[in-house]
Amino acid sequence: MSLYSMIAPKGENGFGYGSTAEDVTEGLDLHGKTILVTGCNSGLGFETVRVLRLRGAHVIGTARTKAKADEAGASQGSLAGGFTGIACELSDPRSVRACVTDLQTRGTSLDALVANAGIMALPKLETAHGYELQFFTNHVGHFLLVTGLLDRLAPKGRVVMLSSEAHRRAPQGGIQFDNLDGSKSYDPWTAYGQSKIANLLFAKTLAKKLAGSGKTANALHPGVIKTNLGRNMGSIAGLALGLASPLVLKSIPEGAATQCFVAVSPKAEGITGKYFSHCQVIAPRREGEDDALADRLWQRTEEIVAALPR
């Protein structure tokens, strides 16, 4: 807990900057619920899995390999809720499709799907299947996973997309449709911002598609937290983050709060198509509210996915 966490105000729902994942789920009995969390082996995903299991949910945790997922689940020891580890390498469409097929075959019904995994600010342009790697991993990989599992969503199932306040650093217009491979220009933070506004726009269109079904889709910013996500930041930025941590950054338990809140809290029931930060609904950057842009991105991503190897 940082100094700021101790004094930060709470919102009307009683939660805020300093709330932890345990705080926002306190008193909830999640026995009988099944929740999928991507990126279960590290940082916010690991803590989200731990707390949802603590409250009794059965968690399906995905990681790049099944061994990584299983190891993460086992390292949490015995908790009220069970754990199933599945491989889902988001930059490999075959791995994502295999994960979808596995869950379809098991007939798993999902009460929530937390699209948590992500990479940030790759120093040099990297690509997968012809697309910039952050856009592909954070957005396209999750698009393939979530759309493949939509029919597995329980009647009040919730889709939770990890975006970031860094979505405000997306390029002019939000998405550079003519530069999705990064060949015209590449900046690590602009590309990360583009991938995160894509997560936000995806939730927005999905919410529209789910309207009236009782199922919801939202996006969120977890806060700024020192995790492995910063592995590509230079040593000076890493040092600055380390120094800022006790003053203003969130701890990992605080960082996992908003996604747990949006995924399971009765206080978030029925809310859809929104962007959360510190467990409160806030306004994203203007393009994050742009329906036409969101629809265009959805269509383009459908085309991208249709052309990927099977």
Ligand X SMILES: NC(=O)c1ccc[n+]([C@@H]2O[C@H](COP(=O)([O-])OP(=O)(O)OC[C@H]3O[C@@H](n4cnc5c(N)ncnc54)[C@H](OP(=O)(O)O)[C@@H]3O)[C@@H](O)[C@H]2O)c1
- Is 17 assigned a catalytic role? no
Tokens representing 174? 């939000």
Is 118 a binder of ligand X (CB under 6 A)? yes
Taking CB under 6 A as the rule, does residue 21 contact ligand X?
A: no
Identity of the residue numbered 174: G
**119 near ligand X, rule: CB under 6 A:** yes
Q: Given the complex with ligand X, which of 137 and 205 has the nearer CB atom?
A: 137
Which CB atom, from 98 or from 154, has the smaller least distance to ligand X?
Answer: 98
Among 2, 137, 218, 280, binds ligand X (CB under 6 A): 137
Residue 102, SS3? Answer: helix
CA distances from 119 to 38, 65, 104 (A): 12, 16, 27
Written as one string, the DSSP assignment of 24-65 is: HHTT---TT-EEEEESTTSHHHHHHHHHHHHTT-EEEEEESS
Distance CA 46, CA 38 (A): 9
Q: What torsion, rounded to 10 degrees, do the Cα atoms 103, 104, 109, 110 define?
A: 50
Range 144-163, binding ligand X (CB under 6 A) = 162
Report, in Å, the least distance between residue 119 CB and ligand X: 5
> Where does this chain touch ligand X (CB under 6 A) — which range of 60-68, 74-82, 232-240, 269-277?
60-68
Interface with ligand X includes 222 (CB under 6 A)? yes
When binding is defined by CB under 6 A, the residue of 215, 221, 274, 278 that contacts ligand X is 221
> Cα(218)–Cα(201) distance, rounded to whole angstroms?
10
User: Tokens 């393939």 map to which residue?
Assistant: 144
- Asked if 43 interacts with ligand X (CB under 6 A), we say yes
Applying CB under 6 A, the site for ligand X has a residue count of 28
Quick one: which segment of 4-12, 18-26, 88-96, 97-105 binds ligand X (CB under 6 A)?
88-96
Q: What is the binding site for ligand X (CB under 6 A)?
A: 39, 41-45, 63-64, 68, 88-91, 116-120, 137, 162, 164, 221-222, 224-225, 227-229
